């Protein structure tokens, strides 16, 4: 005899609906872009009524930024787990940059980029997007402090926040330049290789042997 189905609590149903709406919003941003990501489109994708959507997210800005914040949270967790699971013999600098760049090729960057551009002329969107970005950078700096402890060598000490911001600026520029499907104006591998060499020169470290960290 089949076991009776466990009834979900109201809190569980609420959480499931919110998660479905956030996932649907994220998918719409990636697939059809900011302009076409309407509340009607999201409600349809999530399989809920427009009234239910507005109950959970009273404004469109709440819905859009909530979806990106939710995705960024998972992005930080995934990156931390990937770095923690590296082969101990792997080169951390190579691995950190390669893993981070691989994540820029995922949908999270596409959704963030759609909203970041829209926020330039939308004050309701700008404030929460800035807050999400600040929280993401704080979490990133904490992660990198754990992965790359500060050196006592004053001659080769790179402020961790500045180094991290430099890396994000480079990767954001590369990803933005490639955001039009089928067009890649830069030789990404060569740019990343030059960046790694520049950081190694500053830190006074050597280039890993061929194949290391791959």
Pairwise CA distance, residues 103 & 83, whole Å: 12
CATH classification (class only), 68-203:
mainly alpha
Which pTM was predicted? 0.79
Which tokens belong to 168? 């994000």
CA-wise closest residue to 108 among 96, 119, 100: 100
Least confident range from 51-60, 74-83, 103-112, 117-126: namely 74-83
pLDDT tens per residue, range 4-61:
566 778 888 899 999 999 999 999 999 999 999 999 999 999 999 999 999 999 999 9
Position 86 scores a pLDDT of 74
Kindly provide the residue ranges of all beta strands, DSSP E only, lying in 46-116, ordered along the sequence.
none
Burial class of 152 by CB neighbour count within 10 A (0 to 12, 13 to 18, 19+) = exposed
Residue 206 has pLDDT above 60, yes or no: no
Give me the residue spans of the domains in the chain: 1-58, 68-203
CATH number of 1-58: 1.10.10.60, 2.40.50.140, 3.50.50.60, 1.10.1370.10?
1.10.10.60
């Amino acid at each position: 005899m089949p076991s009776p189905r466990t009834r979900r609590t109201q809190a569980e149903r609420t959480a499931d609906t919110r998660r479905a709406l956030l996932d649907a919003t994220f998918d719409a941003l990636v697939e059809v872009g900011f302009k076409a990501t309407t509340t009607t489109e999201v409600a349809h994708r999530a399989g809920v009524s427009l009234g239910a959507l507005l109950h959970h997210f009273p404004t469109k800005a709440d819905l859009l930024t909530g979806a990106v914040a939710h995705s960024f949270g998972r992005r930080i967790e995934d990156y931390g787990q990937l770095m923690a699971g590296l082969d101990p013999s792997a080169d951390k600098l190579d691995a950190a940059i390669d893993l981070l760049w691989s994540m820029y090729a995922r949908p999270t960057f596409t959704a963030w980029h759609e909203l970041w551009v829209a926020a330039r002329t939308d004050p309701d969107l700008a404030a929460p997007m800035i807050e999400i970005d600040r929280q993401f950078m704080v979490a990133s700096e904490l992660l990198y402090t754990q992965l790359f402890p500060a050196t006592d060598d004053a001659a080769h000490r790179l402020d961790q926040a500045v180094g991290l911001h430099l890396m994000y600026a480079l990767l954001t520029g590369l990803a933005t330049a490639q955001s039009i499907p089928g067009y890649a104006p830069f030789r990404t591998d060569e740019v990343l290789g030059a960046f790694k060499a520049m950081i190694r020169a500053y830190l006074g470290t050597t280039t890993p042997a061929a194949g290391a960290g791959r």
